[in-house]
């Protein structure tokens, strides 16, 4: 538009007011330069900041790369040391021929060790069997001793059963004769009744405790204040008649309703002696029952019965019950005929000797080639 307006202005006459230069374009041009300068400065600041960031980034990358290089260097050094160690170990290893020889020797040693372990197991197995058989023989000896010394059927039966179990574990046909004898002994022991000696001992002890409670044939007269003795004692104290009556009443008793023969009364000391005799007879029976002495047991019970019948009232409930108990206990056996285990023990010993002979014969035959190859 300025270009189109210029020709019109030039056509006007020059005689008008003097023309002044326009001020607005100059102001606009200065504002544009300032804005351009500001833009250029901001661009320069941005370019400088970007350059500083790049420099710092490069420095950080450089430091990181430097650390990685150091780590790689240390790893390389460790690898080098490991390589040196491996090389040293490889230098120490023997040659291939020597390794093959050692491998062969190890294989041979393993084979020899396996054969030795097998032989050791066989020897130990045989020794264990020998120990078990010796234990069976010892059990039979103990059973025979228990029967002969104590007549203990229960313990002997358990011992013989243990010996039979050991022989059965062997699973040896050669032990048939020994096991047959053991079976016969077991059958004989099972058919024999074991006397209850401990029970007899305790029952006799209970009867001994009741001896002190037995009374004499008739109770001793005692003054209760309702007799002539009480009347004579009144007045000036105990007179001669009271003392004489007290003494004679111990030996004389008047019973108007007596239907049986009169027996003399037992005095206090005599009663103590009779109780002591009865207690000693029962104690002797206890000892005989515990030790299996049938004759002593029967004699002691007979003596105790005689003491009860002769010195105590048979109608007394205590003495009557004790007589019945003594009659029952006298029928109880204290001894028993025990079976003989000598044949069973001899059969087991013969089996052990025969087994030792069979084991020693193969060992002696195998020892000769072993001694020849040992050098």
CA atoms lying within 13 Å on the CB side of residue 324: 8
Distance separating alpha carbons of residues 269 and 44, to the nearest angstrom: 148
- pTM as predicted: 0.48
Local structure of 69: helix, strand or coil: helix
Distance separating alpha carbons of residues 111 and 95, to the nearest angstrom: 25
**Cβ atoms within 10 Å, residue 307:** 21
Q: Where are the domains of the chain?
A: 107-193+338-369, 195-218+265-335, 221-255
Class of domain 107-193+338-369: mainly alpha
In sequence order, what E strands does 232-341 have? none
Answer for the pair 201, 286: CB distance below 8 angstroms, yes or no.
yes
CA atoms lying within 13 Å on the CB side of residue 27: 4
Phi, psi dihedral angles at 238 (to 5 degrees): -75, 120
Distance separating alpha carbons of residues 219 and 216, to the nearest angstrom: 7
Per-residue pLDDT of the chain (375 residues; tens, 9 = 90+): 444 444 444 444 444 444 455 555 555 666 878 888 888 888 888 888 888 888 888 888 888 888 888 888 888 888 988 888 888 887 777 777 887 888 888 888 888 888 777 776 665 656 778 888 889 999 999 999 988 888 889 899 999 999 999 999 888 888 899 999 999 999 999 998 888 888 899 999 999 998 888 765 544 445 454 444 444 444 444 567 777 777 776 666 665 555 555 455 454 557 788 889 999 999 999 999 888 888 999 999 999 999 888 887 767 788 888 999 999 999 888 888 888 999 999 999 999 888 878 766 654 444 444 444 443
Answer for the pair 207, 312: CB distance below 8 angstroms, yes or no.
no
CA 129 centroid distance within chain:
27
Handedness of CA 142, 143, 149, 153 (dihedral sign): positive
Answer for the pair 172, 133: CB distance below 8 angstroms, yes or no.
no
Handedness of CA 155, 158, 160, 166 (dihedral sign): negative
CA atoms lying within 13 Å on the CB side of residue 256: 0
Handedness of CA 152, 157, 162, 168 (dihedral sign): positive
Separation in Å, CA 122 to CA 128, 300, 365: 10, 62, 16
């Amino acid at each position: 538009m300025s270009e189109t307006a210029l020709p019109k202005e030039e056509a006007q006459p020059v005689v008008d007011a003097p023309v002044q230069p326009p001020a607005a374009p100059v102001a606009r041009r200065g504002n544009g330069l300032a804005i351009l300068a500001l833009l250029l400065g901001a661009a320069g600041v941005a370019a400088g900041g970007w350059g500083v960031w790049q420099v710092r980034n490069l420095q950080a990358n450089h430091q990181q790369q430097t650390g990685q290089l150091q780590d790689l260097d240390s790893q390389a050094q460790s690898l080098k040391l490991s390589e040196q160690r491996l090389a040293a170990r490889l230098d120490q290893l023997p040659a291939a021929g020597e390794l093959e020889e050692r491998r062969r020797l190890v294989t041979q040693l393993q084979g020899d060790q396996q054969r030795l372990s097998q032989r050791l197991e066989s020897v130990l197995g045989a020794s264990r069997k020998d120990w078990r058989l010796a234990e069976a023989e010892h059990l039979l000896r103990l059973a025979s001793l228990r029967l002969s010394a104590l007549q203990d059927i229960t313990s002997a039966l358990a011992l013989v059963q243990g010996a039979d179990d050991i022989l059965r574990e062997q699973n040896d046909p050669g032990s048939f004769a020994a096991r047959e004898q053991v079976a016969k002994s077991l059958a004989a022991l099972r058919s024999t009744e074991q006397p209850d000696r401990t029970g007899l001992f305790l029952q006799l002890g209970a009867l001994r405790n009741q001896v002190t409670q037995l009374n004499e044939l008739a109770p001793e007269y005692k003054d209760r204040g309702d007799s002539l003795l009480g009347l004579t004692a009144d007045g000036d104290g105990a007179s001669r008649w009271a003392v004489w009556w007290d003494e004679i009443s111990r030996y004389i008793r008047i019973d108007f309703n007596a239907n049986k023969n009169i027996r003399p009364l037992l005095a206090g000391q005599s009663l103590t002696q009779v109780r002591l005799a009865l207690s000693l007879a029962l104690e002797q029976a206890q000892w005989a029952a515990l030790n299996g002495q049938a004759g002593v047991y029967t004699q002691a019970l007979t003596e105790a019965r005689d003491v009860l019948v002769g010195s105590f009232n048979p109608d007394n409930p205590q003495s009557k019950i004790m007589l019945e108990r003594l009659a029952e206990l006298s029928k109880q056996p204290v001894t028993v005929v025990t079976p003989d285990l000598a044949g069973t023990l001899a059969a087991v010993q013969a089996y052990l000797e025969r087994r030792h002979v069979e084991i020693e014969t193969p060992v002696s035959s195998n020892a000769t080639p072993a001694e020849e190859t040992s050098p």
